[in-house]
Amino acid sequence: MENMHLAQRIRAFRKLKGYTQQELAEKSGVSLALLGAVERGNRRADDQILTKIADCLGITLADLKPEP
């Protein structure tokens, strides 16, 4: 469940920024395959990867992973 919530948040922030998955992957240095799997909720990403994604989106890690 947590993976799906995180996946939805990443996708929403990415779309707000106007990035495709390819663009975000390139800007963050994360592979397209990994980013796609994370956005689908099929794979977990560690905080280091999530921080790279958040930085490219102009948000914080806390924005992606808010406290319940």
pLDDT in tens, 3-62: 779 999 999 999 999 999 999 999 999 999 999 999 999 999 999 999 999 999 999 999
pLDDT(1) > 80: no
- 0.85 exceeded by pTM: yes
pLDDT at 6: 92
Note whether 43 and 37 are within 8 A (CB): yes
* Residues 68, 52: Cα–Cα separation, whole Å: 22
- Higher pLDDT pick, 67 / 65: 65
Cβ-based neighbours of 33, under 8 Å, separated by 6 or more = none
pLDDT at 14: 97
Based on C-alpha coordinates, what's the Rg of the chain?
Answer: 10
Structure tokens at 11: 């996708």
Structure tokens at 34: 């990994």
